């Protein structure tokens, strides 16, 4: 007799011992100590304990649960977080939130547990009177104190939903602030971006900020042999890899923004008010004269794209490719680089590509047909889906809390072989993903660590890629991009699948 | 990079005491642009109400506030776990323009139907106060329809710091108290344990000590909290309020309405924990209880002391910095670190009063730096200047310590190790020991005595 989860638990000969938590843990179909029974058996749990799944849902075809008004366990964050991340990637920049103190503190706390690096974010610390009379005074005080305390080269101001709702005109305030202090020699660049959290997610906030940064810094001039790259919300390891690839193409370039050093730096001897690294403002200024810019984003709307803005303002040549996750997406990116630079793919990367294909061959049987649920930021989901499809995994749900309206179209384009029946859902939350997981019974979940409680409850293993990763240490160093990134993702996934295979039989083969 | 000099902001100087005559200021609104470690009143009310595990907690506002507080605390429940879910009305642009009342009504009603909670708390975030949604009216309406308490929590972030949020949470809690039987009798020899959040099961440890000395616990607010228990809070003879003061307002209301007096307690460290037990026996003036307390303490300390010895041996003479949310916890930490042979050379809190800091100055050795509502730069400055071996704080303080090569322990609402009670003291010693004595620090430039940057 085996576990009734439908998978292959260690066989047990005594009915009384069927399906213990330990068995389930071994089988991989359930966590040890958990009280979860996979869908199909549709066991009701205490309705007050966790989200309950009714038998009709579990047995039926329902995919995302009831259409709830409330968002339950959101699969997204608010826009100012994305803006703060982008600002951290500008050299000498201190992110500054115009609004109440709590937003800055929560966002700091959230980012710190992913990056495990200092993440100082100033706030104009609204009180009740700022809500009534506007936040001008607080902004001026805040800027003064930030300049006095941090001596930043750049200050990046993003608005919170509160400042947006009371209608504070930050652009005007900043103009006033600068003109009142015109004589000051060391006044930092003050960048602004409007990030109402009710208008978009953290991924949007990131793009709005990149566009605003470029808008406020890039200036026209004679063309230069210089490439701009907008990398999207990727890991410090990804940014480093992009840098290496660009260097190997031997062309001047700038990655905007680049938080790889500020958010994954060494231990210091002294405390640094602002961590070293990031894209210098003067490099961003050069974007107006760039020979080309490449935007690694697929679901982006024109009105939030920094590349489109450069095109409008300076008629810059724009290339847009999705996040280069997997061979095909990376090929696209490298082709663009070959085209712009007139150089072939550097031998080092070509060799990595070759070894990667060799690994694809070695591991293809373990991945083929295994079903996965993929979730996260939209661009991440597009890239990850394309990658999964090319290694033979079968995405059974692609989901994001973002709402660009383009997710489906972009995925279908990047992964044409994806089963046309596979649902692609925008604006989803984890409660909905959970119902889907109960019904679809995938082999794996792929996404950030916010899927952990769902993984624990359903017993479906979670592979942590993307942002945020709060419950592992490797988040900032996880490489997703390029051939090398695909290698890392592939090894992680296949190792996990081999482990599952090994542990799901009672013999425990040592050669598999 | 050259050595960076960190100077205090002119306007912050009065909130730092570096020795000499004591003349600190405190309880001021955070200085704009100072990068305060404080959060907002939403955070305060969320902290206090969060552990009530059979209620649903709905954040009315845009998504951020709900996302950042999803399952963030270490508050354990012995039964339902609704508190670990994150519900939000996730306001969109059109809700901000046309108002979010309809959305809120639907959200609460649907969630109550689905999760069958014993109550619902509805937290207003920043913009709700501005757009003027009548949250109270909606709560009343749903309450009437569903027959469970639906309680608005006045927690707009801009209304103040955590402290104001604590007050809002207490107002919300008090709406439940006494809801059941109006003339219920007091329970003999009974207490409420207030202001503990059952992080890593700490309230179970404390409850066990009290019960072993013959004290009945009527309700725990809000650790392992249940709506029904809170209803009965008026029946206890005594409120024991954990030092942080987060629920002292509730205790005050209980005193006014039910005549229940309150005493303060701290459960951290041998001295404070023992005092917390004796104080209850003294309150009841009951010899049997006193002997019970003595027995518990004797048993526990006899077990604990030999286990602490090896840690103490390694830690004696090491220096620590402590920065926490509430001020009272700092007192306990100073004493606990002394128990381990360590000295506190930097101490501070987000929300202490002038009196708190005065006491703290007296408790610490001369020359200890005392900080109110400080920020990363000041913390880094003093941690480095005082050359500490250990920093105790919350998640936001951790990278400050780590970046300059200093050991760190978490002592906030997010911790997952029980640090209260006698057993907690052992956990604490273990954690401090592994933080301070790890061989990794030899590689930090600070220790290696060379400048890498
Ligand atoms: S949703 Fe609004 S109030 Fe909440 S953290 Fe984000 S910006 Fe701040």
Pocket test for ligand 1, best of B62, B92, B157 (most atoms within 8 A of CB): B62
Q: Which pair of structure tokens corresponds to residue A490?
A: 């592939």
Probe site for chain A from B89, B126, B130, B404 (most A CB atoms < 10 A): B126
A422-471 pLDDT, tens digit each: 999 999 999 999 999 999 999 999 999 999 999 999 999 999 999 999 99
DSSP, residue by residue, A370-407: -EEEEESSHHHHHHHHHHHHHTT-EEEEEE-S---S-H
For residue A27, pLDDT over 70 is answered with no
Note whether A142 contacts B33, CB cutoff 8 Å: yes
Q: What is the pLDDT of residue A56?
A: 32
Q: What is the pLDDT of residue A34?
A: 33
**Mean pLDDT, to the nearest integer, of A260-272?**
94
Mean pLDDT of chain A, nearest integer: 89
CB A324 within 8 A of CB A353: no
For residue A47, pLDDT over 70 is answered with no
Contacts with B80 from chain A: Cβ below 8 Å: 46, 48-49
CB B97 within 8 A of CB A196: no
Q: How far apart are CA B416 and CA A343, in angstroms?
A: 54
* Helix or strand (DSSP H, E) at B354: helix B354-363
B270: CB partners within 8 A, 6+ apart = B301, B304, B336, B339, B422, B425
Beta strands B319-324 and B343-349: pairing type? parallel
Q: Which pair of structure tokens corresponds to residue A170?
A: 């930050």
Assess whether the C-beta atom of A78 lies below 6 angstroms from ligand 1.
Answer: yes
Q: Which pair of structure tokens corresponds to residue B383?
A: 């941690």
Contacts with A197 from chain B: Cβ below 8 Å: 62-64
For residue A153, pLDDT over 50 is answered with yes
**Mean pLDDT, to the nearest integer, of A224-245?**
97
Instruction: Give 3-state DSSP helix, strand, coil % of chain B, rounded to 5.
Output: 50, 15, 35
Q: Is the peptide bond before A257 cis (omega within 30 degrees of 0)?
A: yes
Q: What is the pLDDT of residue B84?
A: 96
The single residue listed with the structure tokens 């890899």 is: A241
Q: How far apart are CA A29 and CA A457, in angstroms?
A: 10
CB B250 within 8 A of CB B174: yes
Reported confidence tier of residue A62, pLDDT bands at 50, 70, 90: low
Q: What is the pLDDT of residue B182?
A: 67
Probe site for chain B from A76, A87, A149, A199 (most B CB atoms < 10 A): A149
Give the CA angle between residues B245, B250, B253 to the nearest 5°.
130
Look at residues A80, A213, A110, A91 and name the one whose alpha carbon lies nearest to residue A154: A91
Look at residues A325, A104, A106 and name the one whose alpha carbon lies nearest to residue A232: A325
- Phi/psi of residue B77, nearest 5 degrees: -125, 145
Q: What is the pLDDT of residue A57?
A: 39
Contacts with A431 from chain B: Cβ below 8 Å: 85
Contacts with A166 from chain B: Cβ below 8 Å: 130
Surface of A (50-89) touching B: CB under 8 A: 50-52, 66, 68-74, 76-81
- Using DSSP, state whether B352 is helix, strand or coil: coil
Count of beta carbons in the 10 Å neighbourhood of residue B106: 16
CB A255 within 8 A of CB A246: yes
For residue A22, pLDDT over 50 is answered with no
Note whether A161 contacts B126, CB cutoff 8 Å: yes
Q: What is the pLDDT of residue B161?
A: 80
CB B42 within 8 A of CB B68: no
- According to DSSP, residue B195 is labeled E
Contacts with B164 from chain A: Cβ below 8 Å: none
CA of A81, closest atom in ligand 1: 6
Cα(B64) to centroid of ligand 1, in Å? 5
Count of beta carbons in the 10 Å neighbourhood of residue A411: 27
Give the CA angle between residues A263, A268, A271 to the nearest 5°.
90
Note whether A48 contacts B82, CB cutoff 8 Å: yes
Q: What is the pLDDT of residue A180?
A: 86
Assess whether the C-beta atom of A200 lies below 6 angstroms from ligand 1.
Answer: no
Look at residues A352, A270, A330 and name the one whose alpha carbon lies nearest to residue A482: A330
For residue A161, pLDDT over 50 is answered with yes
Q: What is the pLDDT of residue B20?
A: 83
| Residue with the larger pLDDT of the pair A54 and A151 | A151
Gap from B114 CA to chain A (nearest CA, Å): 8
- Phi/psi of residue A350, nearest 5 degrees: -65, -40
Tens digit of each residue's pLDDT, chain B (453 residues) = 445 788 888 889 899 998 888 889 988 888 899 888 888 899 999 999 999 999 999 999 999 999 999 999 989 999 999 999 999 999 999 999 999 999 999 999 999 999 999 999 999 999 998 999 999 999 999 999 999 999 999 999 888 888 899 999 999 999 999 877 767 789 999 999 999 999 999 999 999 999 999 999 999 999 999 999 999 999 999 999 997 678 999 999 999 999 999 999 999 999 999 999 999 999 999 999 999 999 999 999 999 999 999 999 999 999 999 999 888 889 999 999 999 999 999 999 988 899 999 999 999 999 999 999 999 999 999 999 999 999 999 889 999 999 999 999 998 888 888 999 999 999 999 999 999 999 999 999 887 755 444
CB B407 within 8 A of CB B439: no
- Using DSSP, state whether B123 is helix, strand or coil: strand
Q: Is the peptide bond before B222 cis (omega within 30 degrees of 0)?
A: yes
Q: Which of A103, A112, A144 sits opposite B396 (nearest CB)?
A: A112
Count of beta carbons in the 10 Å neighbourhood of residue A66: 14
pTM here? 0.92
Reported confidence tier of residue A133, pLDDT bands at 50, 70, 90: very high
If phi over 0 gives left and psi between -120 and 50 gives alpha, with beta otherwise, what is residue B160? left
Look at residues B230, B248, B41, B247 and name the one whose alpha carbon lies nearest to residue B124: B41
Assess whether the C-beta atom of A161 lies below 6 angstroms from ligand 1.
Answer: yes
Q: How far apart are CA B286 and CA B159, in angstroms?
A: 44
Q: What is the pLDDT of residue A367?
A: 98
Q: How far apart are CA B63 and CA A209, in angstroms?
A: 19
- Using DSSP, state whether A72 is helix, strand or coil: strand
Q: How far apart are CA B93 and CA B103, in angstroms?
A: 13
Q: What's CA A121's distance to the chain center, in Å?
A: 20
* Helix or strand (DSSP H, E) at A267: none
Reported confidence tier of residue A45, pLDDT bands at 50, 70, 90: very low
Alpha carbon of B425 to those of A288, A297, B314, B341: distances in Å? 61, 51, 16, 13
Look at residues A325, A261, A331 and name the one whose alpha carbon lies nearest to residue A297: A325
Q: Output the CA torsion A491→A493→A499→A502 (10° steps).
A: -100
Reported confidence tier of residue A12, pLDDT bands at 50, 70, 90: very low
Q: What is the pLDDT of residue A66?
A: 67
Assess whether the C-beta atom of B62 lies below 6 angstroms from ligand 1.
Answer: yes
Q: What's CA B91's distance to the chain center, in Å?
A: 29
Q: What is the pLDDT of residue A481?
A: 98
Residue of B nearest to A67 (CA): B110
A67-82 pLDDT, tens digit each: 789 999 999 999 999 9
Surface of A (438-477) touching B: CB under 8 A: 450, 453
């Amino acid at each position: 007799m085996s576990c009734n989860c439908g998978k292959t638990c260690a066989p047990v000969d005594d009915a009384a011992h069927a399906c213990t938590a330990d068995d389930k843990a071994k089988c991989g179909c359930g966590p040890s100590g958990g009280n979860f029974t996979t869908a199909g058996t549709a066991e009701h749990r205490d309705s007050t304990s966790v989200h309950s799944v009714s038998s009709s849902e579990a047995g039926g075809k329902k995919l995302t649960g009831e259409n709830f008004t409330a968002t339950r366990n959101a699969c997204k964050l608010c826009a100012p977080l994305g803006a703060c991340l982008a600002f951290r990637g500008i050299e000498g920049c201190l992110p500054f939130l115009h609004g109440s103190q709590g937003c800055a503190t929560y966002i700091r706390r959230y980012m710190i547990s992913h990056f495990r690096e200092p993440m100082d974010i100033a706030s104009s610390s609204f009180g009740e009177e700022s809500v009534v009379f506007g936040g001008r005074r607080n902004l001026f005080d805040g800027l003064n104190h930030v300049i006095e305390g941090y001596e930043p080269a750049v200050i990046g101001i993003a608005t919170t939903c509160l400042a947006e709702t009371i209608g504070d005109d930050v652009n005007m305030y900043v103009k006033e602030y600068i003109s009142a202090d015109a004589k000051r020699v060391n006044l930092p660049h003050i960048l602004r971006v409007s990030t109402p959290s009710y208008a978009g997610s953290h991924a949007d906030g990131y793009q709005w900020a990149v566009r605003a940064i470029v808008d406020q810094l890039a200036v026209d001039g004679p063309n230069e042999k210089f490439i701009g790259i907008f990398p999207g919300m990727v890991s410090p390891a990804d940014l480093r890899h992009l840098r290496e690839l660009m260097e190997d193409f031997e062309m001047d370039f700038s990655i905007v923004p680049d938080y790889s050093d500020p958010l994954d730096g060494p231990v210091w001897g002294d405390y640094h008010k602002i961590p070293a690294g990031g894209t210098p403002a003067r490099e961003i200024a050069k974007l107006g004269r760039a020979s080309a810019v490449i935007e690694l984003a697929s679901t982006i709307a024109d009105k939030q794209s920094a590349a489109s803005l450069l095109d409008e303002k300076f008629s810059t040549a724009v290339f847009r490719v999705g996040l280069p996750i997997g061979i095909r997406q990376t090929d696209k990116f490298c082709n663009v680089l070959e085209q712009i630079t007139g150089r072939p793919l550097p031998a080092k990367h070509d060799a990595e590509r070759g070894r990667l294909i060799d690994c694809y061959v070695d591991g293809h049987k373990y991945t083929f047909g295994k079903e996965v649920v993929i979730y996260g930021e939209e661009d991440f989901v597009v890239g990850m889906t394309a990658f999964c499809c090319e290694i033979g995994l079968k995405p059974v749900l692609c989901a994001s809390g973002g709402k660009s309206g383009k997710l489906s179209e972009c995925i279908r384009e990047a992964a044409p072989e994806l089963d046309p029946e596979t649902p692609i859902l925008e604006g989803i939350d984890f409660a909905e993903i959970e119902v889907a997981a109960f019904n679809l019974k995938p082999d794996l979940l792929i996404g950030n660590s916010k899927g952990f409680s769902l993984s624990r409850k359903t017993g479906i293993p979670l592979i942590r890629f993307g942002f945020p990763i709060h419950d592992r240490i490797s988040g900032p160093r996880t490489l997703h991009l390029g051939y090398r990134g695909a290698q890392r993702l592939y090894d992680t996934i296949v190792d996990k699948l081999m482990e599952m295979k090994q542990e799901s039989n009672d013999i425990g083969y040592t050669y598999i | 990079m050259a050595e960076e000099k960190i100077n205090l902001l002119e306007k912050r100087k009065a909130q730092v005491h570096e020795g000499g005559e004591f003349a600190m200021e405190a309880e001021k609104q955070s200085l704009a642009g100072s990068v305060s470690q404080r959060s907002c009143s939403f955070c305060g009310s969320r902290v206090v109400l969060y552990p009530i595990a059979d209620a649903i907690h709905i954040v009315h506002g845009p998504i951020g506030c709900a996302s950042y507080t999803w399952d963030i605390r270490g508050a354990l429940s012995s039964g339902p776990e609704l508190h670990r879910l994150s519900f939000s009305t996730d306001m969109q642009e059109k809700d901000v323009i046309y108002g979010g009342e309809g959305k809120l009504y639907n959200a609460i009603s649907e969630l109550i139907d689905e999760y069958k909670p014993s109550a619902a708390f509805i937290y207003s975030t920043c913009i709700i106060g501005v757009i003027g949604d009548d949250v109270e009216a909606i709560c009343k309406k749903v309450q009437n329809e569903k027959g469970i308490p639906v309680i608005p929590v006045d927690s707009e972030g801009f209304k103040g710091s955590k402290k104001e949020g604590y007050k809002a949470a207490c107002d919300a809690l008090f709406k439940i108290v006494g809801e059941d039987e109006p003339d219920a009798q007091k329970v003999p020899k009974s207490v409420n344990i207030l202001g503990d959040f059952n992080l890593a099961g700490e309230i179970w440890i404390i409850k066990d000590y009290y019960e072993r000395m013959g004290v009945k616990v009527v309700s725990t607010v809000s650790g392992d909290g249940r709506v029904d228990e809170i209803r009965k809070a008026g029946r206890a003879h005594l409120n024991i309020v954990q030092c942080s003061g987060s629920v002292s307002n509730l205790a005050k209301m209980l005193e006014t309405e039910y005549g229940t007096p309150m005493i303060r307690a701290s459960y951290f460290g041998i001295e404070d924990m023992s005092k917390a037990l004796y104080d209850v026996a003294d309150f009841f003036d009951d010899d049997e209880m006193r002997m019970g307390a003595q027995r518990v303490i004797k048993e526990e300390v006899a077990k604990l002391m030999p286990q602490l010895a090896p840690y103490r041996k390694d830690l004696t003479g090491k220096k620590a910095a402590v920065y926490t949310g509430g001020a009272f916890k700092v007192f306990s930490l100073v004493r606990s670190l002394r128990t381990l042979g360590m000295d506190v050379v930097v101490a501070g809190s987000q929300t202490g009063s002038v009196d708190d800091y005065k006491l703290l100055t007296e408790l610490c050795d001369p020359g200890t730096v005392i900080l109110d509502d400080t920020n990363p730069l000041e913390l880094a400055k003093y941690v480095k200047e005082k050359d500490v071996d250990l920093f105790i704080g919350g998640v936001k303080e951790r990278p400050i310590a780590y970046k300059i090569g200093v050991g760190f322990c978490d002592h906030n609402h997010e911790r997952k190790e029980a640090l209260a009670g006698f057993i907690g003291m052992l956990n604490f010693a273990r954690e401090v020991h592994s933080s301070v004595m790890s061989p990794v620090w030899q590689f930090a430039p600070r220790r290696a005595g060379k400048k890498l940057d």
